Structure 1
């Protein structure tokens, strides 16, 4: 396993935690390769960790079953905002391959309605909107559950409809911002330049939008008497 190739991107640890691998580095004294990674969702203040490649590629045993310590999430897209953030921190963003991503190559690695807080839930909906919408339309067009389970498709549809309805009603003031940032894919920096704003102003606008959406998500759950967060989350 030590000879396994490690690429920049998202990986799921054996315990369910998702991390983002930034790059690999080589110890100048020992020649040992080290994996540089950070936890996902990204924290407001970035914190980078390292693991030896040998440890990262190890196999663990859980419940009598052997599995990779970290498994790459090939269907989880790296957002433009994440790439911009890495570049601001001095890291190179992932190299894009010029090919259309196949939606039915394997089951979607995303976990629907499994965030730890309503704020994280709101961010998740926005950052994966384009991919989720493409997945939904593909399944509807093909009239089958392609690369997604029936239960996850129901959650996906519910989330898309809720977000679309919210942007047409309560959150209509953020409609143009959402379209430019999460549909057209403008980074915070490019959005600021397009509207002649400083990045601090755009960061503040984004925080207000995420907070407003998070409140709506929580109010919906309270009204329906259910919780769409990870069961271990306390809100």
Structure 2
């Protein structure tokens, strides 16, 4: 499997950890290829790591089951903001091939209510809003669960409705910002240019929005006596 093609994009390790593969590099002396990757979610100050391609493509045994060490998440899309960060670090963004994927393939590789903190939960909902909304509409149109289980569809629906309702009420002051950033898809850089603001003020506005949404998500769980995180956040 060492000859397997590795492309820029998201991969999930056998233990569930998600990484982003940036590129491949070739050792000038040995000719050995290495995979350059970084952790996901992307850190404020990114760190890059390398693994030999042979190791990256290897299979391992987990509980007597043979699994790929890293499995590509075909349709987890990188945001424009992340591409900008990569370019600032001197890396090329992913090259997209124009093709029409099958419906089930176009909406796979997405897990719901798997964040470790409410802030991460809020960020996840916002950054995947268009993806989740389109997936929901597709399921309704097709009258079937497209690349999603019934239980995950319930999670998807309740999160979309909660976020939409919050933006019409408690978070109405952020409605315009949310639409431009996460519906229209403006990167932070383009939002800064469009509103003639500085990057720091927009970063601060985004943190305030995520924090406000996180508080609402936590209040919802406390009111309903449940927890929609992967596990309770450690105090």
Q: Is 1:223 matched up with 2:223?
A: yes
Query: Residues 198-227 of structure 1, C-alpha deviation per residue, up to 9 Å, x if partnerless?
Result: 111111111111111111111111111111
In the alignment, what sits opposite 2:178?
Answer: 178
In the alignment, what sits opposite 1:160?
Answer: 160
Shift of 1:150: 0.5
- CA–CA distance in structure 2, aligned partners of residues 103 and 117 of structure 1: 31
Shift of 1:31: 1.3
Shift of 1:104: 1.4
Shift of 1:98: 2.4
- CA–CA distance in structure 1, aligned partners of residues 103 and 121 of structure 2: 23
In the alignment, what sits opposite 2:116?
Answer: 116
Shift of 1:90: 1.3
In the alignment, what sits opposite 1:141?
Answer: 141
Q: Which moved more, 1:98-107 or 1:141-150?
A: 98-107
Segments of 4+ moved more than 6 angstroms: none
Query: Residues 3-56 of structure 1, C-alpha deviation per residue, up to 9 Å, x if partnerless?
Result: 000000000000000001011111122211111111111112211111110110
Query: CA contact under 8 A between 1:103 and 1:135: conserved in structure 2?
Result: no
Structure 2 length-normalised TM: 0.96
The count of residues paired between Structure 1 and Structure 2 equals 235
- The change in CA–CA distance for 1:106 and 1:126 in structure 2 (over 3 A counts) is closer
Query: CA contact under 8 A between 2:35 and 2:56: conserved in structure 1?
Result: yes
Query: Residues 78-114 of structure 1, C-alpha deviation per residue, up to 9 Å, x if partnerless?
Result: 1111111111111111112223454412772111000
Where in structure 1 are there 5+ consecutive unaligned residues? none
Q: Which moved more, 1:136-145 or 1:104-113?
A: 104-113
Structure 1 length-normalised TM: 0.96
- CA–CA distance in structure 1, aligned partners of residues 24 and 127 of structure 2: 26
Query: CA contact under 8 A between 2:107 and 2:135: conserved in structure 1?
Result: no
Residue 104 of structure 1 aligns to a residue in which SS? Answer: helix
Where in structure 2 are there 5+ consecutive unaligned residues? none
Shift of 1:233: 4.2
- CA–CA distance in structure 1, aligned partners of residues 115 and 75 of structure 2: 18
Query: CA contact under 8 A between 1:112 and 1:152: conserved in structure 2?
Result: yes
- CA–CA distance in structure 1, aligned partners of residues 91 and 33 of structure 2: 17
Residue 46 of structure 1 aligns to a residue in which SS? Answer: coil
In the alignment, what sits opposite 1:84?
Answer: 84
